[in-house]
């Protein structure tokens, strides 16, 4: 990077505080559902949730190594360490089936969130 670029970049970074992307929190009353990862399986492997309403998914891992709870359709990717519980915010969704999987263990059967 040439010097002018460094200067331009620093200026842009300084100005960046005025153009920060907002990162969301979620309504405290959003319903929560639990999925447990254990013995190479998600249980339940299918979760039924209501359409058009944000919700949370608590992912508990009883595995001995980290897992990665991931969904392409839902654009979620979270590492869960052994014994940890994480909370994943989900948006209001239209009816349909949204798959999730463990990206660290591709032989773990996929699960799905079924929105009705």
Q: Report the interface residues with other proteins, using CB under 8 A.
A: 1, 5-6, 8-9, 12-13, 15-16, 19-26, 72, 74-79, 86, 88-91
Euclidean distance between CA atoms 116 and 53, whole angstroms: 11
Task: Give the nearer residue to other proteins in terms of CB position, either 77 or 110.
Answer: 77
The nearest distance, CB 111 to other proteins, in angstroms, is 17
CB of 89 to other proteins, least distance (A): 4
Q: How many CA atoms lie within 13 A of 81 on its CB side?
A: 1
Q: How far is the CB of 100 from other proteins (least distance, A)?
A: 12
CA–CA distance, 38 with 89 (Å, rounded to integer)? 22
Tell me how many helices (H) and strands (E) the chain has.
Answer: 1, 9
């Amino acid at each position: 990077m040439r010097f002018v670029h460094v200067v331009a970049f620093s200026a842009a970074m300084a100005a960046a505080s005025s153009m920060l992307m907002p990162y969301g929190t979620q309504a405290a009353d959003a319903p929560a559902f639990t999925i447990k990862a254990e013995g190479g399986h998600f249980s339940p492997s299918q979760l039924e949730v209501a359409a058009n309403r944000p919700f949370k998914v608590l992912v508990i891992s009883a595995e001995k190594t980290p897992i990665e709870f991931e969904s392409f359709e839902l654009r979620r990717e979270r590492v869960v360490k052994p014994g940890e519980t994480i909370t994943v915010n989900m948006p209001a969704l239209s009816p349909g089936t949204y798959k999730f999987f463990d990206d660290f263990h591709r032989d773990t059967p996929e699960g799905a969130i079924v929105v009705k």
